[in-house]
């Protein structure tokens, strides 16, 4: 498709844009047109017919508009999906600093310290999700034109897929699952997840990149705040971070971006109902490829058989699949479990993540990033001159007025590792590179020195050693983990009077609870999926596990206590193993 075939702008938007760019004298000439396309502007007779006769004026208008008009699409060559053609607006978003930051955040966090092939980053994963989101929604539009999927819907879904991981911190899930909960100051921030930052970062991306909003309007997106209209930016953010209760039985429609008849669009990027979405399609395929682990799930086949149906007699419509695809879906969730067991939750990966998080906590207040500009309410506060505000009052053109305007907003906030999540300008600078920033730091503060030592142990492969694991029923609390460590230290291989001969205490052990499941905690994820039959494609139903095979799992979740020793010299490591084996005997 040629670049002039992309995009159009309403007369209101084109007039507003011309005024913003100092070309307001020509704005009234466009009021007679409801919609303006680029191919029209390139035609000399179009602007002449509106009364814009000087060629230099027509060229100035055209040059200004070309800066925001979408260009031709670009093709990305990807090892997973082959040649991916992306809409020009997606390319504009990819080219922003906020998106380019994802080049420096490993997709599998500390997994690269164990799997040499796991060098891929959030950058290529996000592009893959944006591409697959477009493929799925386009397939639905082609198969079911009655769904009234329009170009705006497709573009919004693609943008949500592209931007869904903007908020990941250093080493991906390590940051929001192991570091932030221990580093934050309030209970509210303990529940902070990378999706929160993804929404904040998306807002920052749109606001801080010149003309991006105009490019969005030129591509047909509606950025109006009128609640009676479809809100495209709201819709994108709802797909990135769905409301907390995305329940199919919810009595009220919880979304604002799209009406209930388009509820199926919320199943594409982050499907909280069934867990089957294009995010998983990409990372299963991409992670398996880089880890050297076979992926049994065929997402292309799922897209071929995907169909939107009304479910459970409700108005809501969801993406369903053919009944014969139920085994393919079990393969999907088994692949998820296998990746967690063999890679994401690998015993060495988890302890390296623990050690990196430990180093981040100790270095937190010493590693700082420059954030957004501070707003000073008074000249006195900014200059330290207590009488400055008094001097300023009553003067028509006070000499310090210029100084006031320079000072307001001139000073930038300084934020550390944990507080950077409150300021997206600072957070943009926060990537995996902070690992080496700490490792190569020269500060003499005690905690910073300790942080350097921990990271050096990681680099030198002197990480805490794995002793073994014990199955645990349920999800352990912090008190239960602490009690387990006490029992571990007290479990002497050869009990003696007084202090243990080996000198090991509970502080010498690390206990990490690890939960692995099929994506729906202890539930069978297929229970949340609806199917259709080729003879009656509009009638949906569920399939019970017993109807599929007797060889499928009965339990869908398990929790393990992983036990590690901080002491890695041969003598004390052997003693630590003795403690663990003794405790296993005591707990049967």
Residue 327, C-beta contacts closer than 8 angstroms, at least 6 positions apart: 548, 549
Q: Confirm if 469 and 581 have CB atoms less than 8 A apart.
A: no
Q: Which two tokens stand for residue 291?
A: 């880890």
Length of the chain: 588
Q: Using CA atoms, how far apart are residues 202 and 208, in angstroms rounded to an integer? A: 10
Query: What tokens were used for 502?
Result: 């080996």
Q: How far apart are CA 348 and CA 510, in angstroms?
A: 13
Residue 236 and residue 156: Cα distance in Å, rounded?
Answer: 6
| Orientation of helix 194-208 relative to helix 232-240, angle to 10° | 150
**What is the DSSP annotation of 82-142?**
EEEEE-HHHHHHHTSHHHHGGGGSBTTGGGGGT-TT---BHHHHHHHHHHHHHHHHHHHHH
Find the radius of gyration of the CA atoms of the chain. 29
236-269 burial: b if 16+ Cβ within 10 Å, else e: bbbbbbbeeebeeeeeeeebebbeeebbbbbbbb
**Which among 362, 451, 316 has a CA at the least distance from the CA of 183?**
362
The residue among 195, 188, 139, 187 whose CA lies nearest residue 167 is 195
Q: Is 81 a catalytic residue?
A: no
Query: Which of 194, 204, 318, 346 is the catalytic position?
Result: 194
Quote the tokens at residue 286. 């991409």
Catalytic residues: 194
């Amino acid at each position: 498709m040629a670049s002039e075939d992309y995009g159009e702008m309403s007369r209101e938007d084109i007039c507003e844009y011309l005024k913003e760019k100092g070309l307001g004298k020509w704005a009234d000439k466009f009021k007679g047109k409801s919609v303006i396309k680029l191919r029209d502007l390139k035609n000399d007779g179009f602007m002449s017919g509106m009364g814009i006769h000087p060629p230099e004026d027509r060229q100035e208008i055209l040059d200004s508009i070309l800066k925001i008009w979408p260009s031709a699409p670009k093709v990305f060559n990807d090892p997973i999906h082959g040649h991916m053609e992306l809409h020009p607006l997606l390319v504009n978003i990819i080219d922003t600093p906020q998106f380019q930051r994802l080049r420096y955040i490993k997709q599998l966090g500390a997994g690269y310290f164990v799997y040499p092939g796991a060098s891929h980053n959030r950058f290529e994963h996000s592009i893959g999700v944006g591409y697959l989101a477009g493929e799925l929604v386009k397939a639905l539009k082609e198969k079911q034109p009655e769904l009234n999927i329009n170009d705006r819907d497709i573009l919004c879904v693609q943008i949500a897929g592209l931007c869904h991981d903007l908020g990941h911190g250093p080493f991906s899930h390590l940051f929001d699952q192991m570091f932030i909960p221990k580093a934050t100051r309030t209970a509210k921030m303990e529940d902070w997840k990378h999706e929160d930052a993804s929404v904040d970062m998306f807002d920052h991306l749109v606001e801080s990149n010149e003309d991006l909003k105009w490019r969005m309007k030129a591509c047909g997106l509606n950025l109006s705040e009128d609640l009676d209209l479809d809100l495209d930016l709201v819709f994108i953010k709802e797909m990135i971070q769905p409301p907390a209760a995305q329940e199919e039985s919810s009595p009220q429609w919880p979304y604002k971006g799209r009406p209930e008849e388009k509820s199926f669009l919320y199943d594409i990027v982050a499907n909280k109902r069934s867990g089957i979405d294009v995010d998983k399609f990409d990372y299963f395929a991409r992670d398996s490829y880089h880890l050297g682990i076979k992926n049994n799930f065929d997402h292309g086949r799922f897209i071929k058989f995907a169909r939107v149906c009304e479910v459970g007699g409700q108005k809501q419509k969801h993406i369903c699949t053919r009944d014969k695809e139920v085994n393919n879906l079990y393969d999907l969730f088994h692949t998820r479990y296998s990746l967690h067991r063999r890679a994401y939750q690998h015993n060495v990966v988890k302890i390296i993540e623990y050690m990196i998080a430990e180093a981040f906590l100790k270095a937190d207040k010493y590693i700082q990033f420059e954030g957004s500009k501070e707003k000073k309410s008074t000249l006195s506060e900014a200059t330290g001159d207590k009488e400055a505000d008094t001097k300023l009052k009553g003067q028509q053109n006070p000499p310090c007025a210029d100084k006031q305007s320079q000072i307001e907003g001139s000073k930038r906030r300084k934020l550390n590792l944990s507080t950077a999540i409150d300021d997206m300008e600072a957070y943009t600078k926060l990537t995996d590179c902070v690992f080496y920033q700490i490792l190569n730091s020269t500060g003499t503060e005690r905690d910073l020195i300790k942080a350097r030592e921990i990271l050096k142990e990681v680099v030198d492969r002197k990480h805490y050693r794995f002793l073994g694991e014990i199955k645990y029923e349920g999800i352990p609390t912090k008190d239960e983990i602490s009690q387990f460590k006490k029992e571990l230290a007290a479990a002497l291989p050869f009990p003696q009077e007084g202090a243990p001969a080996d000198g090991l205490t509970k502080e010498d052990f690390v206990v990490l609870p690890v939960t692995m499941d099929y994506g729906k905690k202890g539930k069978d994820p297929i229970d949340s999926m609806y199917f259709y039959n080729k003879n009656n494609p509009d009638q949906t139903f569920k399939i019970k596990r017993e109807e599929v095979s007797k060889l499928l799992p009965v339990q869908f979740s398990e929790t393990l206590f992983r036990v590690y020793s901080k002491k890695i010299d041969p003598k004390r490591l052997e003693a630590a193993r003795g403690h663990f084996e003794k405790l296993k005997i005591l707990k049967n």
